[in-house]
């Protein structure tokens, strides 16, 4: 098996391991969607930019309720999460024109969850050839835009949608 190093994730992992508060709950407590990079608020879930993205416009969909177990979540919440995934794919496909997506959850620390106590769904845009030599040889991750730019591009599109629709 070949292992591919991802050194840009070290800062995030070290920070998460030291944190006592949940990043999703912290984002909600800010009461400032721009500062927290919250793009959309539904009835049960919200969509937020990942501060340490794998690719530009890497989103996470998380419930308001702090809960580790997806299977214990209420049906209304998980149904809405899937609806928000569909909305996110539609908006991201239109705005960024990716060749594909990775979507999914890492449930539990051993499964790779950086935040194991608050389940969430990742939406990662992918392009053919989006992995290059920079992270491996140069120990540097390149991004085509910063989080502010991504937020400014996506926020108006998400705001055109009415919660619950």
CA dihedral 7, 16, 62, 110 (to 10 degrees): 70
**pTM listed for this prediction:** 0.80
pLDDT band at 8 (very low <50, low <70, confident <90, very high): low
Q: 91 exposed, middle or buried (CB, 10 Å; 0-12, 13-18, 19+)?
A: buried
pLDDT of residue 37: 97
pLDDT digits (tens, 9 = 90+) for 78-119: 999 999 999 999 999 999 999 999 999 988 888 877 888 999
Give the active site residues: 120
> pLDDT tens-digit profile of 45-87?
999 999 888 888 999 999 999 999 999 999 999 999 999 999 9
- Domains of the chain in start order, with CATH, are 7-159 (3.30.428.10)
pLDDT at res. 111: 83
Contact 48, 38 (CB under 8 A): yes
Mean pLDDT over 110-136 rounds to: 78
Give dist(CA 127, CA 131) in Å, integer.
9
Separation in Å, CA 164 to CA 80, 89, 103: 8, 17, 22
């Amino acid at each position: 098996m070949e292992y591919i190093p991802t050194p840009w994730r070290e800062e995030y992992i070290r920070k998460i391991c030291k944190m006592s508060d949940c990043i999703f709950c912290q984002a909600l407590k800010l009461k400032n969607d721009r500062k927290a990079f919250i793009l959309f608020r539904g009835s049960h879930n919200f969509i937020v930019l990942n501060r340490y993205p794998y690719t530009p416009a890497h989103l996470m969909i998380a419930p308001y309720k702090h809960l580790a177990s997806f299977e214990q979540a209420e049906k209304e919440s998980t149904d809405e999460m899937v609806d928000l995934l569909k909305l996110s794919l539609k908006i991201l496909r239109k705005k960024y024109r990716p060749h594909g997506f990775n979507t999914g959850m890492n449930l539990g620390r051993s499964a790779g969850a950086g935040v194991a106590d608050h389940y969430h769904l990742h939406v990662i845009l992918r392009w053919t050839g989006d992995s290059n030599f920079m992270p491996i040889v140069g120990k540097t991750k390149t991004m085509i835009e910063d989080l502010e730019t991504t937020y400014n591009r996506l926020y108006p599109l998400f705001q055109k949608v009415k919660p619950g629709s």
